[in-house]
């Protein structure tokens, strides 16, 4: 007689902490990897309006396709989702398109963990993500390209190729990003990152599409002035202004990303996205001020990267230790979901001066045959 292990539903409160889309993304990704069915009531409870938007629907459906999942409640405005994963068989060639300016980077967040592990060697999966590339309420695609993916390569040995085919700005979207995701047959190594080292360079790009080049110049100049006022050496600042061609961008918009590189290989970001209600100078100032805040606390990762690495250190084999700035609600949410889904244990050492040491004993995940 043979027996089959049947996992009971794991119930995850969608109103916990930040109560937004990150709960959906992290829980669904871990559900697919670990073959644990989940139910999420109160989905996006703390957002107005609550419930799924088109980008969440597209992201969950993308993960469902990767792992042949059965789903319930995956539709616009739904406040309750059930996700019952099947087997992940790689490689995959997939396209996801919410039909809106929904963030391509958030689509990558839900799908990447699902594509990262294989029980036997295989060629990379190919992923085309459509929608918004530079929007508020999500990391810009430039951040993913220049901060998150280099972190994955440096610390986990995962070399994910990303190409921006076309930028899509809010509210039209219309962007397209291509990713090639290799899969691993081994567990991820732990991360030890506690010494940032001095800043040696602040580089960046202020960019516009469908708008006059002078607006990018004004963003750049404002950011530079704020960095100088914040004590950054003028010889360390290298910011370019860029105007995209009509073929390179859909719609009109812009933004700025600043990156501080340190002697120890850390990359700290600061960014802002253009809106009609804000002058270019305000956008440049916001990005520079965010970067300066991220530098002051002495952490090795910034606020955006802080929450994105939680899934991966929970899955890694051994103890990871990362020094960061004050914890965001997104990070507290990510830790809660990771502990509930994986059984990894986290320890937080919050220092009165502002920095936090995140330690995690990961589970050493490898896919079953």
The set of catalytic residues is 330
Query: In what order do the strands lie in the sheet containing 192-193?
Result: 192-193, 317-324, 356-363, 345-350
> Please, what is the end-to-end C-alpha distance for the chain in angstroms?
21
Q: Evaluate whether 291 touches 260 at the Cβ level (below 8 Å).
A: yes
Distance CA 204, CA 43 (A): 36
Extract the tokens encoding 90. 């790689």
Binding site for ATP: what residues are annotated? Answer: 109, 304-308
Q: Is 80 exposed, middle or buried (0-12, 13-18, 19+ CB in 10 A)?
A: middle
What is d(CA 165, CA 94) in angstroms, rounded to the nearest whole number? Answer: 15
- For tokens 């732990």, name the residue: 190
Q: Compute the distance between CA of residue 316 and CA of residue 320 in angstroms, rounded to an integer.
A: 8
- Residue 42 near residue 14 (C-beta atoms within 8 A): yes
> Between the CA of residue 238 and those of 139, 150, 204, what are the distances in Å?
21, 19, 7
């Amino acid at each position: 007689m043979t027996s089959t292990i049947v996992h009971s539903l794991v119930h995850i409160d969608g109103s916990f902490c930040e109560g937004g889309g990150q709960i959906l993304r992290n829980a669904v990704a871990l559900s697919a990897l670990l073959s644990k069915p989940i139910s999420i009531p109160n989905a996006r409870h703390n957002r107005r309006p609550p419930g799924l938007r088109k980008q969440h629907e597209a992201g969950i459906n993308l993960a469902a396709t990767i792992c042949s999942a059965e789903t319930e409640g995956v539709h616009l405005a739904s406040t309750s989702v059930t996700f019952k994963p099947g087997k992940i068989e790689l490689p995959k060639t997939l396209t996801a398109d919410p039909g809106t300016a929904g963030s391509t980077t958030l689509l990558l967040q839900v799908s990447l963990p699902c594509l990262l592990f294989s029980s036997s060697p295989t060629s990379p999966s190919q992923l085309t993500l459509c929608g918004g590339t530079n929007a508020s309420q999500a990391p810009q695609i430039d951040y993913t390209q220049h901060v998150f993916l280099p972190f994955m390569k440096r610390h986990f040995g995962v070399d994910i190729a990303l190409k921006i085919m076309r930028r899509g700005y809010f509210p039209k979207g219309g962007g397209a990003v291509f990713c090639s995701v290799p899969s691993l047959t081994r567990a991820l190594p732990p991360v030890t990152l506690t010494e940032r080292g001095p800043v040696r360079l602040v580089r960046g790009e202020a960019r516009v599409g469908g708008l006059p080049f002078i607006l990018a110049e004004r963003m750049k100049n404002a950011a530079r002035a704020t960095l100088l006022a914040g004590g950054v050496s003028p010889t360390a600042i290298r910011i370019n202004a860029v105007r995209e061609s009509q073929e390179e961008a859909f719609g009109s918009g812009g933004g700025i990303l600043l990156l501080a590189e340190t002697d120890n290989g850390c990359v700290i970001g600061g960014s802002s996205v253009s809106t009609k209600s804000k002058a270019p100078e305000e956008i440049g100032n916001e990005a520079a001020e965010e970067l300066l805040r991220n530098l002051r606390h002495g952490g090795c990762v910034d606020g955006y990267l802080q929450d994105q690495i939680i899934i991966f250190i929970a899955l890694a084999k051994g103890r990871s230790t990362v020094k960061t700035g004050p914890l965001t609600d997104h990070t507290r949410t990510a830790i809660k979901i990771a502990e509930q889904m994986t059984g990894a244990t986290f320890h937080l050492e919050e220092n009165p001066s502002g920095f936090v040491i995140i330690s995690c004993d990961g589970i050493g995940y490898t896919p079953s045959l």
